[in-house]
Chains A and B, each alone.
Chain A
Amino acid sequence: MKKLMASALAAAMVVSLVGCGGNNTTSTSESGSAAATTESASATSVLNTDTSTLYINLASEPDRLDPHLNSTVDGAVLAVNSFVGLLTYDENGQLVPGVAESYDVSEDGMTYTFHLRQSKWSDGTDLTANDFVYSWNRAANPMTASDYSYLYDGLIAKNEVANEMVANPEYDAAAAEAAAAAGEEYTTPAEVYSDAALAAQEANEILVGVEATDDYTLTVTLVSPCPYFLSLCAFPTFYPVPQASVEAADPDGTNPGAWALEAGFVSNGPYTCTAWSHDESMTYTKNPNYYDADSVNIETLQFMLSADDTAIYNAYMAGNLDFIDTIPTEEVPNHIDVDPEFYVAANIGTYYVGFNVNSTLFEGKTPEQANAIREAITLLIDREYIVDTIGQTGQEVANTFVPAGMSDSNGGEFRQNTDSYTYPDEEAVGYFDPSYDAYEENLAKAIELLESAGYVFDDAGMLSAETPLSFAYLTNEGAGNEAIGAAIQQDMAAIGATVEIQTQTWNVFLNERKAGNYDVCRQGWLADFDDPINMLEMWTTDSGNNDAQFGRDPATGEAGTVPSYAPQNWSEYDELIAEIKAETDLTKRVALMHQAEDMLMETWAVVPLYYYNDPYMQKSNVEGVYTNAFGYKYFHHATKTAA
């Protein structure tokens, strides 16, 4: 029972842990082929022939349907089908007009003028430029507490007052001292917003760079030119929300998502949520007030709210569902390459192993030796085994941190050799050759690297007893994650190194990883937007995502004196990221981003394993569902035939 629950939870987590984002490059490849008709599992799959309704499973009960408060992929899918931003994605993954019919960009790339179409909310009221001014301010407002509010940071000029922090008047020094004496924790923060800041937040005056010139013209002034700004305009945190209902449902401003807790809330997209039976089902009905309602074919979307792999898969096979976004791992081999109903969409993201650079594992080494140990471990992992037997959906093995398929925001893909930049392993296009063919070579190099770090090997190529190498691998629950841990354990055993696998529940795992209480851990990142900076800015000293603890003092967990064995002078990386953000010459910007990835990979603290992809199943009588590289599924152009 524990196992089953764990895998059910793991499935839920896989769906919910990955973040979301917004930009182009889609390639949905149909894995099926006519040649493979033997033992096709689809033979038993029953079709559902109610042509006006599409039956779908994305995941379990979504936490939030407020697009500003959502932080999951399945929530984003619901958002893109019930709301529409200034721009949206078409079936080719290209940005196309949404509420904005067109836009102009100033010559310096700093000012965008959006010309809005005359469209309506689902309750029939007009949607104007003021709705965007309100919504963007709301999403950026700390009081709304949107997970993705940081996307507005450094993008659009902010009202200084709204962010002003002062010493907390409620902070009680005596009580803190007493608590410390008693060995207890005193957690009142030392700083809070000033009264002026609170007033500005109350008034929702956060951004100064967004203005409604008239009812249908929106002017946005950026802090500096941002090559991915337009893709953010199609991201749920930048969607309009209906001010009247938001404010009516939360008069005192303490529960910002109150307006979208039950079915019947106002939206502006192809569908509106009309029924919600928690943890069971949800009904989305075509919105007659959607500006492009004529192009919406399916009248009703019925969502099964479940994370139980077996139930979902059986419901699909029994014909109760037309579309499922999760497939039990053990069923994948029955469908992949033989079943035309099985699809794999490209994703932009990397599954990787992360090191804590401050771990005592490296004590007594120089930073270079620590790098060498990490590089050796990187080279010892057999990625093809992981992809073939654990991942199973044809993932591409990874040898860079910035994933394959990510654009460089200058018209090309980032991960490629060009005239101005060549990856260290030119042929494999990356930092090493991840193929199994290169295994012997990689093994020899790993031994050499470990020897340079002071490890001694015997004649059989095994670590000698005097210089053992052993570490703990922290992972969260989930059959796949644990199996990858076991695979790494096996790979390390090849040289006599020992790995202890520590499995934690999701919340505890996140906490330990953020706090740097680990040696080596499982990591993964799905891009929020299609630009390498999204992957690179994670690793600045002060970033909340710097789980590797670069540049941090292990005693305080904050920027400070790093251990002698950790990468030194990490502030150079911070400066480089700041330089990239300010760079307006896109070609130079690409070069700087390569420089940053080189610097990151030089530490070998992030060990790429594979690039994510996104398997799903869809019945043969359904057509027109499309997806993009962030895992969004669009149902508004879907059609369903009786057979």
Chain B
Amino acid sequence: MTRYVVKRVLLAIVTVLVISLITFFAMNAIPGGPFNKEKATSPQVQAVLEARYNLDKPVGEQYILYMNNILHGDWGVSLKTGRDIASTLTSRFAVSAQLGLKAAAVAIVCGLVLGSIAALNRNKLPDRLIIFFTTLFTGVPSFVLATLLLLVFCMKLNLFPVWSAENPNYVLPVVSLSLYPMAYITRLTKTSMLDALSQDYVRTARAKGVSQVKVIFKHALRNALIPVVTYVGPMVAYILTGSMVVESIFTIGGLGTQFVTSITNSDYPMIMATTLFLGTLMVTANLITDLVYKMIDPRIELE
């Protein structure tokens, strides 16, 4: 187990390094730099800026300088705003994570419950209703959903302000973020629950007279969770890092917006920092997923 973890961590470091390399050279290959302006700045100003941020050096050397700084804990400053990148990432991630954790919790809890209900009421009304709505939610893209929520709850029903500096409200963004994964988890849970319920050990348990509640929670659900965990790991990582679309519609300063604007601005150190951060998060989430597998199903060999 320990050997496995060490091996995976080493592999993760290599993965992140490869990501950094590809990102660095790819972003430098895009025409236009961070100091491109519609109204030309003077050549002197361009020279000062390029020298200040090492952009006058060959790309390979820039990469080495950059990685060296990172290893010394220096993420640099945004070329666009001059703001410290480490603190920007931390504060932006705090916003996205707060939102994402709520959305993930809603998605997982509701997904598992609804999926189980659907499985236990197969082909009855609750099942049909749940499947109808989950199909709908998996089919509607988040920007349509977010816009619809805004229209109904802010404009028609006046339940929430579209935007408020004094009382920002996270209900609608959490709902927009959670509906798709919730629907997906519901369907996954239903399928694997049905699968588990038809297994021999469930029949045995029932034959022994084990109560329905115990059958479901102790025997069926636990086994039904494995495919769900596979999905939930990366989903949580994804949802924590924020969605540009949802953040933009509900005016939330999260990581998703930061990531997209850094690319359109060619803000090199910011692109690198967000990519490395997201990459590390993804790799970690995958590792945790694999370890959780083992905990749920001891039959799985981690080697």
Contacts and interface: CB of A to CB of B under 8 A. Distances in A.
B37 A71 contact: yes
Q: Which size class do B's interface residues fall under?
A: 35 or more
Contacts of A19: 38-39
A64 B249 contact: no
A149 B45 contact: yes
Interface stretch (B4-12, B15-23, B222-230, B240-248): B240-248
B274 to A, nearest CB: 14
Contact of A143 (B33, B48, B82, B155): B48
Interface stretch (B116-124, B156-164, B279-287): B156-164
B58 A255 contact: no
A195 interface: no
Given A508-B30, A511-B31, A142 B48 contact: yes
Interface string A303-342: 1111110110011011011000000000000000000000
Interface in A263-320: 275, 277-283, 302-308, 310-311, 314-315, 317-318, 320
A24 to B, nearest CB: 21
B49 interface: yes
Contacts of B150: 310-311, 314
B265 A507 contact: yes
A278 B88 CA distance: 9
A71 B36 contact: no
Nearest to A304: B163
B85 to A, nearest CB: 12
B264 A280 contact: no
Contacts of A305: 251, 253
Contact of A512 (B31, B141, B257): B31
B252 A280 contact: yes
B296 interface: no
A605 B150 CA distance: 46
Contacts of A277: 165, 253
Interface in B19-43: 30-33, 36-43
B33 to A, nearest CB: 8
Contacts of B168: 280-281
B77 interface: yes
Given A255-B77, A279-B253, A304 B58 contact: no
B154 A318 contact: yes
Contact of A543 (B30, B38, B40, B147): B40
A153 B92 CA distance: 40
Nearest to A308: B248
Given A4-B143, A304-B165, A506-B264, A314 B155 contact: yes
A544 B245 CA distance: 36
A311 B163 contact: yes
B14 interface: no
Interface residues of A, number: 76
B47 interface: yes
Contacts of B162: 311, 314-315, 318, 320
B128 interface: no
Given A142-B44, A150-B42, A280-B251, A310 B147 contact: yes
Given A507-B264, A514-B40, A145 B82 contact: no
Contacts of B52: 145, 254
Contact of B266 (A69, A321, A507): A507
Contact of A257 (B41, B82, B266): B82
B82 to A, nearest CB: 4
A192 B249 CA distance: 46
A280 B167 CA distance: 12
Contact of A318 (B45, B158, B258): B158
B83 interface: yes
A544 B42 contact: yes
Interface in B135-150: 141-143, 147, 150
Nearest to A512: B31
Interface in A164-197: 179, 184-189, 191-192
Contacts of A255: 77, 82
Given A280-B165, A315-B161, A320-B161, A147 B249 contact: no
A254 B50 CA distance: 12
Given A258-B82, A261-B83, A147 B264 contact: no
B67 to A, nearest CB: 19
B206 interface: no
Nearest to B39: A19
B260 interface: yes
A557 to B, nearest CB: 13
A507 B30 contact: yes
A305 B251 CA distance: 7
Given A1-B245, A142-B44, A315-B161, A508 B56 contact: no
Contacts of B250: 311
A185 B258 CA distance: 30
Interface centre among B45, B59, B164, B249 (most CB of A within 10 A): B45
B51 A192 contact: yes
A545 interface: yes
B14 to A, nearest CB: 26
Given A311-B251, A317-B155, A544-B41, A511 B163 contact: no
A283 B37 CA distance: 28
B161 A280 contact: no
B159 to A, nearest CB: 11
Interface string A55-97: 1000001011000010100000000000000000000000000
Interface string A505-539: 11111111011000000000100100000000000
A8 interface: yes
A55 B33 CA distance: 35
A457 B47 CA distance: 51
Nearest to B150: A314
Interface in B155-199: 155, 158, 161-166, 168
A146 interface: yes
A512 B31 CA distance: 8
Contacts of A36: none
B80 A63 contact: yes
A525 B38 CA distance: 9
Contacts of B42: 142, 149-150, 153, 544
A115 B82 CA distance: 35
Contacts of B244: 5
A258 B78 CA distance: 11
A9 interface: yes
Contact of A545 (B39, B57, B81, B158): B39
Interface in A349-390: none
13 contacts: A142-B45, A150-B42, A189-B56, A280-B168, A280-B251, A306-B248, A308-B249, A315-B162, A317-B155, A509-B32, A510-B36, A512-B32, A514-B36
Interface of A: 1, 4-5, 8-9, 17-19, 55, 61, 63-64, 69, 71, 142-143, 145-147, 149-150, 153, 163, 179, 184-189, 191-192, 254-258, 261, 275, 277-283, 302-308, 310-311, 314-315, 317-318, 320-321, 505-512, 514-515, 525, 528, 543-545
Interface of B: 30-33, 36-45, 47-52, 55-59, 77, 80-83, 88, 91-92, 141-143, 147, 150-151, 154-155, 158, 161-166, 168, 244-245, 247-254, 257-258, 260, 264-266
Given A192-B47, A507-B31, 15 more contacts: A1-B141, A5-B245, A19-B38, A69-B82, A145-B48, A184-B58, A192-B51, A256-B82, A261-B83, A275-B165, A280-B168, A303-B165, A304-B165, A314-B155, A525-B39
Minimum-distance CB pairs A-B, first 5: A544-B40, A279-B253, A511-B32, A281-B165, A507-B32
